[in-house]
Amino acid sequence: MAGRFEALPGGGAAVALDEVEISILRSLSVQLLELIGPGDEPAKGEDPLAALFAEGPSEPPSDPALARLFPDAYGEPEGNGDEELREFSAEFRRYTENDLRTRKRDDALAVVRSLDALAATGEGGAVLKLTADDSLHWLGALNDLRLTIGTRLDVADEDENGDLYRLPDSDPRKPMVMAYLWLGALQETLVETLMP
């Protein structure tokens, strides 16, 4: 089971993680939470129902990693100069990005909480057991982590990770590449546990 998720009877998944792996996953998830931001909480005394209908941003994020996590719904309107597509993208973003940010925060928080609970057992490493719902949160967070790291590493879809495998150990990107590839393996095996 080391390094790969396995299906649990009745749904869910399990993976054996050592102390270092737990630390890395937690650290990356916390960094993801910091990147996404705290979100808009309703002001004290404000109607929570009104907060549900609050409009979000209409412009894409300037940070490339955030732009990858929150892409334009209609492609990249800035690149093709289509004013109508730009308006459609802004409108879509305005009404969906807050909910998407909340979901991504919830996914990353679920990872942090499950790792904290695992670390609280006092064992150096342990077997993390996830319910079916927790597995979906983990899958979302692993995907977001890979997208973020891949953006920082300038990984292109056509790359297929070939060059990443051949980086010399002296390359300063090597630790992030190793994390990127490891997260991909975790994500792949978690997907396999969710398939019927």
Residue 5 is predicted with a pLDDT of 95
Assigned domain for 105 exists: yes
Assigned domain for 74 exists: no
The count of structural domains within the chain is 1
Tell me the average pLDDT across 118-133: 82
Assigned domain for 77 exists: no
Q: Indicate whether 74 pLDDT > 80.
A: no
* DSSP line for 152-173: HTT--GGGTTHHHHT--TTSTT
Express each pLDDT in 143-154 by its tens digit: 999 999 999 998
Residue type present at position 7? A
Assigned domain for 58 exists: no
Model confidence at 42, pLDDT cuts 50, 70, 90, reads low
CA angle 113, 117, 120 (to 5 degrees): 135
| CA distances to 58, 68, 80, 127 from 96, in Å | 10, 15, 23, 36
Residue 48 is predicted with a pLDDT of 61
pTM summary value? 0.85
Assigned domain for 18 exists: yes
Assigned domain for 155 exists: yes
Give the structural domain span for 151.
Answer: 6-41+99-194
Q: Indicate whether 52 pLDDT > 60.
A: no
Comparing CA positions, the residue from 70, 66, 17, 27 lying closest to residue 186 is 17
Assigned domain for 128 exists: yes
Backbone angles phi, psi at 89, to 5 degrees: -65, -40
Decide if 103 contacts 140 (C-beta within 8 A): yes
Kindly report the average pLDDT of the chain as a whole number. Answer: 84
Decide if 58 contacts 93 (C-beta within 8 A): yes
Tell me the average pLDDT across 1-28: 89
Task: Give the residue ranges of DSSP H helices in the chain.
Answer: 19-36, 48-52, 64-69, 77-80, 83-119, 132-152, 162-165, 174-194
Tell me the average pLDDT across 40-63: 67
Express each pLDDT in 75-110 by its tens digit: 664 555 678 888 888 888 888 888 899 999 999 999
Residue 1 is predicted with a pLDDT of 43
Tell me the average pLDDT across 52-58: 66
What's the full length of the chain, in residues? Answer: 196
Q: Indicate whether 37 pLDDT > 70.
A: yes
CA angle 63, 68, 71 (to 5 degrees): 105
Residue 184 is predicted with a pLDDT of 93
Assigned domain for 131 exists: yes
